[in-house]
Amino acid sequence: MSNQQLIYLIEQKRETLLEVAKLHGFASPIVIKCSQELDVLINKLMEDSPKQKETANQ
């Protein structure tokens, strides 16, 4: 998956998270699950980022 695709998915998941949080509150299990899914996407983007790899190797 390309970084552009990941960024798009992150933006979509963030929007979903905010909408679900408005409906159910931030402590709701569904909001926490959505937040964890967003974390996975962000972590994947960070792992794939060439700048992050370069910094980690120094």
* pLDDT in 10s for each residue of the chain, 58 residues: 899 999 999 999 999 999 999 999 999 999 999 999 999 999 999 998 876 555 555 5
**pLDDT value of residue 15:** 98
**pLDDT value of residue 6:** 97
Q: How close are the terminal C-alpha atoms of the chain, in Å?
A: 26
Burial of 57 (C-beta count, 10 Å sphere; 0-12/13-18/19+): exposed
Helix (H) or strand (E) holding 23: helix 3-24
Q: Is-contact 11 46, C-beta < 8 A?
A: no
Dist. CA 13–CA 53, nearest whole Å: 25
